[in-house]
Amino acid sequence: MITVFGATGTTGAPLVDALLAKGAKVRAVTSDPAKLDALNAKGCEAVTANFTDPAALERACAGADRIYLVTPAHLDMRRWKANAIEAAKAAGVRHVVLATGLGASPKAKVTFGRWHSETQELLKQSGMDWTFVQPTYFMQNLLWQAQGIAKTGIYHDDLGGPVAWIDARDIADVAAEALTGSGHEGKTYGLTGPEALTGADIAAILSEVTGRSITCAPLSAEDSKAAMIAGGMQDEVAAAMVELASIAPKGYLAGIETTVSDVLGRPARRFRDFVAEHRDAFVQ
Ligand SMILES: NC(=O)c1ccc[n+]([C@@H]2O[C@H](COP(=O)([O-])OP(=O)(O)OC[C@H]3O[C@@H](n4cnc5c(N)ncnc54)[C@H](OP(=O)(O)O)[C@@H]3O)[C@@H](O)[C@H]2O)c1
């Protein structure tokens, strides 16, 4: 049995699909009882557990050999993951595949890297086997502004530099391999897409795919932070997001990792194909 936390999320949902396609027995965890039926319909065992509820987390891990652990970007994410790691250990889980972020290490220069690193170190000390999946920015983030792009023809770029965007389905596929294959214990998988793209590149791809003229407008750190807070993000998390974005103009998010093709034996998905698949979201 493999328990997938965050099973309705951006990486967890495609991971459940990938694991089921491999024939694995999957327990999918949601905090929202209203999502149980849809998860069960996929062919997995769906359960509810909140990251704040240690007993429910332990029940979610009972009888599982391996788990996938991801939380949303949240001020409490270190405590939430610590609760899940403790529950997994108590339940006898052998191997945890932990989703963090590219560059997460004790020496990370940005807040997110240090937050994720704390959890990585905690998991290492737990005695369970571990694999870290460390993705860069998800292509799926583009969907957050799809409606605006469709309406105004403007892509707002809060990064101001090249980023090697990854499709969250590639993160899921690598995690699925780590959860079902052998030899992934003790590995840190930095995950990027196959090319680094600027905001202008993304606008050009959007234009080409939609047949409309989409322009790129820089979004200042202040406006970006204000938009995230208006969208419900906690102040400290929004500040950490803006800090992370601030390293893009220096080229620090442009490096290409070959992990997706190394682990999966096929190339990482391309941004243009992602946009083409979601074309309808970018047109009115
Ligand atoms: N987005 C990016 O570009 C990016 C880049 C690098 C790293 N990351 C990292 O990736 C992680 C986010 O991954 P993701 O996008 O796959 O996650 P996500 O979609 O944001 O969230 C995963 C799921 O967590 C569940 N959840 C929320 N609150 C919960 C709670 N209190 N108890 C139990 N479950 C709860 C939600 O499902 P239910 O409503 O069903 O409970 C949600 O679908 C973060 O750590 C972030 O730092 C993100």
Question: Strand, helix or coil at 82?
Answer: helix
Whole-angstrom distance, CA of residue 112 vs CA of residue 115: 5
Whole-angstrom distance, CA of residue 259 vs CA of residue 145: 28
- Distance from first CA to last CA of the chain, Å, rounded? 43
- Comparing CA positions, the residue from 213, 202, 211, 214 lying closest to residue 275 is 202
Residue 167's H or E segment, with its range, is none
The per-residue DSSP string of 93-110 comes to --EEEEE--TT-STT-SS
Q: In what order do the strands lie in the sheet with 95-99?
A: 45-48, 26-30, 2-4, 66-69, 95-99, 129-135, 187-191
SS3 content of the chain, % helix, strand, coil (to 5): 50, 15, 35
Whole-angstrom distance, CA of residue 140 vs CA of residue 225: 19
Q: What is the pLDDT of residue 284?
A: 83
Q: What is the pLDDT of residue 229?
A: 97
- Report the atom number in ligand 1 closest to the C-alpha of 112: 47
* Ordered domains of the chain (ranges, CATH): 2-135+168-191+255-268 (3.40.50.720)
Ligand 1 site residues, Cβ closer than 6 angstroms: 6, 8-12, 30-32, 35, 50-52, 70-73, 77, 99, 101, 112, 135, 137-138, 141
- Mutation probe of ligand 1 site: the residue of 4, 11, 31 with most atoms within 8 A of C-beta: 31
- Comparing CA positions, the residue from 83, 35, 39, 33 lying closest to residue 61 is 83
Question: For every one of its 284 residues, what pLDDT tens digit does the chain have, with 9 covering 90 and above?
Answer: 999 999 999 999 999 999 999 999 999 999 999 999 999 999 999 999 999 999 999 999 999 999 999 999 999 999 999 999 999 999 999 999 999 999 999 999 999 999 999 999 999 999 999 999 999 999 999 999 999 999 999 999 999 999 999 999 999 999 999 999 999 999 999 999 999 999 999 999 999 999 999 999 999 999 999 999 999 999 999 999 999 999 999 999 999 999 999 999 999 999 999 999 999 999 98
116 C-alpha to center of ligand 1: Å? 13
DSSP E strand stretches across the chain:
2-4, 26-30, 45-48, 66-69, 95-99, 129-135, 154-157, 187-191, 215-218
78 C-alpha to center of ligand 1: Å? 12
